[in-house]
Amino acid sequence: MTADEVAVFARCLGAGGVGLFPADTVYGLAADAESADGVRRLYEIKRRPPMPSAVMFLSLELALAALPLVGPRTRAAFERLLPGPLTLIVSNPQGLFPLACGDRSDRLGVRVPALTGALTPLQAVERPLIQSSANLHGGSDARRLADVPAEVRTAVDVELDGGDLPGTASTVVDVSSYEDDGTCSILREGAVTRADLERSLS
Protein backbone atom coordinates (compact mmCIF):
# COMPACT_ATOMS: atom_id res chain seq x y z
CA MET A 1 0.00 0.00 0.00
CA THR A 2 1.57 3.24 -1.18
CA ALA A 3 0.88 6.91 -0.54
CA ASP A 4 -0.42 7.25 -4.10
CA GLU A 5 -2.85 4.37 -3.61
CA VAL A 6 -4.11 5.94 -0.38
CA ALA A 7 -4.58 9.27 -2.18
CA VAL A 8 -6.76 7.52 -4.79
CA PHE A 9 -8.71 5.87 -1.95
CA ALA A 10 -9.33 9.24 -0.26
CA ARG A 11 -10.42 10.93 -3.51
CA CYS A 12 -12.78 8.06 -4.27
CA LEU A 13 -14.47 8.33 -0.88
CA GLY A 14 -14.68 12.08 -1.23
CA ALA A 15 -16.61 11.58 -4.47
CA GLY A 16 -19.16 9.32 -2.78
CA GLY A 17 -17.43 6.00 -3.45
CA VAL A 18 -16.98 2.96 -1.23
CA GLY A 19 -13.54 1.61 -0.43
CA LEU A 20 -12.15 -1.64 0.94
CA PHE A 21 -9.25 -1.08 3.32
CA PRO A 22 -7.17 -2.63 6.12
CA ALA A 23 -7.68 -1.39 9.69
CA ASP A 24 -5.60 -2.51 12.66
CA THR A 25 -7.95 -5.43 13.28
CA VAL A 26 -9.74 -6.71 10.16
CA TYR A 27 -10.53 -5.50 6.65
CA GLY A 28 -13.33 -2.98 6.41
CA LEU A 29 -15.58 -1.08 4.06
CA ALA A 30 -15.53 2.71 4.23
CA ALA A 31 -17.57 5.62 2.94
CA ASP A 32 -17.31 9.34 3.61
CA ALA A 33 -19.26 9.97 6.81
CA GLU A 34 -21.16 12.84 5.15
CA SER A 35 -21.98 11.07 1.86
CA ALA A 36 -25.51 9.71 1.91
CA ASP A 37 -24.92 7.93 -1.41
CA GLY A 38 -21.68 6.37 -0.22
CA VAL A 39 -23.19 5.14 3.02
CA ARG A 40 -26.25 3.76 1.23
CA ARG A 41 -24.00 1.80 -1.15
CA LEU A 42 -21.88 0.50 1.72
CA TYR A 43 -24.96 -1.10 3.27
CA GLU A 44 -26.11 -2.41 -0.10
CA ILE A 45 -22.73 -4.05 -0.68
CA LYS A 46 -22.94 -5.76 2.71
CA ARG A 47 -26.57 -6.74 1.99
CA ARG A 48 -27.43 -5.30 5.38
CA PRO A 49 -30.15 -2.84 6.38
CA PRO A 50 -28.87 0.51 7.67
CA MET A 51 -27.95 0.44 11.35
CA PRO A 52 -25.62 2.40 13.64
CA SER A 53 -21.98 2.21 12.57
CA ALA A 54 -18.80 3.70 13.97
CA VAL A 55 -17.22 6.82 12.59
CA MET A 56 -13.53 6.20 11.99
CA PHE A 57 -10.92 8.93 12.24
CA LEU A 58 -7.43 8.09 11.11
CA SER A 59 -5.81 10.15 13.84
CA LEU A 60 -6.77 10.97 17.42
CA GLU A 61 -6.35 14.69 16.74
CA LEU A 62 -9.00 14.56 14.01
CA ALA A 63 -11.38 12.68 16.29
CA LEU A 64 -11.09 15.11 19.18
CA ALA A 65 -11.42 18.12 16.87
CA ALA A 66 -14.63 16.67 15.40
CA LEU A 67 -16.18 16.01 18.83
CA PRO A 68 -16.14 19.39 20.58
CA LEU A 69 -18.52 18.39 23.37
CA VAL A 70 -16.36 15.51 24.63
CA GLY A 71 -15.67 16.52 28.23
CA PRO A 72 -12.23 16.57 29.87
CA ARG A 73 -12.63 13.26 31.69
CA THR A 74 -13.76 11.44 28.53
CA ARG A 75 -11.09 13.21 26.49
CA ALA A 76 -8.45 11.88 28.90
CA ALA A 77 -9.87 8.37 28.41
CA PHE A 78 -9.61 8.81 24.63
CA GLU A 79 -5.98 9.81 25.01
CA ARG A 80 -5.22 6.74 27.14
CA LEU A 81 -7.08 4.25 24.96
CA LEU A 82 -6.65 5.50 21.39
CA PRO A 83 -5.42 4.90 18.80
CA GLY A 84 -6.05 1.20 19.12
CA PRO A 85 -8.48 -1.66 18.45
CA LEU A 86 -11.40 -0.11 20.33
CA THR A 87 -14.74 1.41 19.37
CA LEU A 88 -15.88 3.92 21.99
CA ILE A 89 -19.57 4.79 22.28
CA VAL A 90 -19.98 8.41 23.38
CA SER A 91 -22.97 10.61 24.10
CA ASN A 92 -23.86 12.75 21.09
CA PRO A 93 -26.08 15.63 22.23
CA GLN A 94 -25.42 17.58 19.03
CA GLY A 95 -26.52 14.71 16.80
CA LEU A 96 -23.22 14.74 14.92
CA PHE A 97 -22.68 12.37 11.98
CA PRO A 98 -26.34 11.38 11.62
CA LEU A 99 -25.58 8.89 8.83
CA ALA A 100 -23.69 6.80 11.39
CA CYS A 101 -26.28 6.99 14.14
CA GLY A 102 -29.32 5.24 12.72
CA ASP A 103 -32.22 5.72 15.12
CA ARG A 104 -29.89 6.59 18.05
CA SER A 105 -28.78 10.14 17.26
CA ASP A 106 -27.87 10.68 20.93
CA ARG A 107 -25.01 8.13 20.75
CA LEU A 108 -22.04 7.79 18.43
CA GLY A 109 -19.42 5.09 17.93
CA VAL A 110 -15.88 6.42 17.48
CA ARG A 111 -12.97 4.41 16.12
CA VAL A 112 -9.31 5.51 15.81
CA PRO A 113 -7.17 2.59 14.56
CA ALA A 114 -3.48 2.22 15.32
CA LEU A 115 -1.85 2.74 11.92
CA THR A 116 1.71 1.49 12.05
CA GLY A 117 3.98 -0.45 9.71
CA ALA A 118 2.30 -1.20 6.39
CA LEU A 119 -0.79 0.76 7.48
CA THR A 120 1.06 4.04 8.10
CA PRO A 121 0.14 5.64 4.71
CA LEU A 122 -3.54 5.64 5.78
CA GLN A 123 -2.74 8.41 8.25
CA ALA A 124 -2.91 10.82 5.30
CA VAL A 125 -6.70 10.37 5.04
CA GLU A 126 -8.21 13.37 6.83
CA ARG A 127 -11.93 12.81 6.27
CA PRO A 128 -14.14 10.99 8.81
CA LEU A 129 -15.31 7.61 7.54
CA ILE A 130 -18.28 5.43 8.25
CA GLN A 131 -16.84 1.93 8.35
CA SER A 132 -18.06 -1.61 8.73
CA SER A 133 -16.43 -5.00 8.41
CA ALA A 134 -15.72 -6.14 4.84
CA ASN A 135 -18.11 -9.05 4.71
CA LEU A 136 -21.65 -9.88 3.78
CA HIS A 137 -24.18 -9.39 6.57
CA GLY A 138 -23.55 -12.09 9.18
CA GLY A 139 -20.33 -13.29 7.53
CA SER A 140 -16.89 -13.80 9.02
CA ASP A 141 -14.40 -10.97 9.46
CA ALA A 142 -11.60 -10.87 6.90
CA ARG A 143 -8.00 -11.09 8.08
CA ARG A 144 -6.59 -10.95 4.54
CA LEU A 145 -7.79 -9.24 1.38
CA ALA A 146 -8.27 -12.71 -0.14
CA ASP A 147 -10.72 -13.52 2.68
CA VAL A 148 -13.13 -10.77 1.58
CA PRO A 149 -16.06 -12.26 -0.38
CA ALA A 150 -15.75 -11.85 -4.15
CA GLU A 151 -19.18 -10.18 -4.24
CA VAL A 152 -17.86 -7.45 -1.97
CA ARG A 153 -14.56 -6.95 -3.79
CA THR A 154 -16.22 -6.56 -7.17
CA ALA A 155 -18.77 -4.07 -5.81
CA VAL A 156 -16.40 -1.56 -4.18
CA ASP A 157 -14.78 1.28 -6.11
CA VAL A 158 -11.25 0.93 -4.75
CA GLU A 159 -9.37 -1.49 -2.52
CA LEU A 160 -6.17 -1.31 -0.51
CA ASP A 161 -4.05 -4.29 0.47
CA GLY A 162 -2.40 -4.02 3.88
CA GLY A 163 -1.28 -7.63 4.11
CA ASP A 164 -2.31 -9.97 6.90
CA LEU A 165 -4.12 -8.38 9.85
CA PRO A 166 -4.61 -9.67 13.42
CA GLY A 167 -8.13 -10.84 12.57
CA THR A 168 -9.96 -9.97 15.79
CA ALA A 169 -12.53 -7.17 15.65
CA SER A 170 -12.36 -4.13 17.92
CA THR A 171 -13.67 -4.17 21.46
CA VAL A 172 -16.77 -1.98 21.79
CA VAL A 173 -16.94 0.07 24.99
CA ASP A 174 -19.76 2.36 26.10
CA VAL A 175 -18.19 5.45 27.68
CA SER A 176 -21.32 7.61 27.41
CA SER A 177 -21.52 8.01 31.20
CA TYR A 178 -17.76 8.17 31.82
CA GLU A 179 -17.76 11.96 32.10
CA ASP A 180 -20.27 11.86 34.96
CA ASP A 181 -19.22 8.87 37.03
CA GLY A 182 -16.06 7.37 35.54
CA THR A 183 -17.77 4.12 34.59
CA CYS A 184 -17.84 2.28 31.28
CA SER A 185 -19.14 -1.04 30.03
CA ILE A 186 -17.93 -3.48 27.40
CA LEU A 187 -20.61 -4.19 24.82
CA ARG A 188 -18.44 -6.55 22.75
CA GLU A 189 -15.11 -7.94 23.83
CA GLY A 190 -12.65 -8.23 20.97
CA ALA A 191 -8.99 -7.33 20.50
CA VAL A 192 -8.80 -5.53 23.86
CA THR A 193 -9.68 -7.58 26.93
CA ARG A 194 -11.52 -6.30 30.00
CA ALA A 195 -8.26 -6.51 31.97
CA ASP A 196 -6.42 -4.48 29.31
CA LEU A 197 -9.15 -1.84 29.41
CA GLU A 198 -9.10 -1.59 33.19
CA ARG A 199 -5.30 -1.25 33.22
CA SER A 200 -5.41 1.54 30.64
CA LEU A 201 -8.02 3.51 32.60
CA SER A 202 -6.59 2.94 36.07
- Residues 36-68 have pLDDT tens digits of 999 999 999 999 888 889 999 999 999 999 998
User: Which domains can be identified in the chain, with CATH numbers?
Assistant: 3-201 (3.90.870.10)
Cis peptide before 72 (omega within 30 of 0): no
pTM for the model = 0.92
The per-residue pLDDT for range 14-40, each reduced to its tens digit, is 999 999 999 999 999 999 999 999 999
Residue 35's closest CA among 129, 107, 116, 134? 129
Amino acid 50: pLDDT: 85
Amino acid 105: pLDDT: 84
C-alpha–C-alpha distance, residues 58 and 60, integer Å: 7
C-alpha–C-alpha distance, residues 125 and 144, integer Å: 21
Residues of the chain with pLDDT under 70: none
Amino acid 23: pLDDT: 95
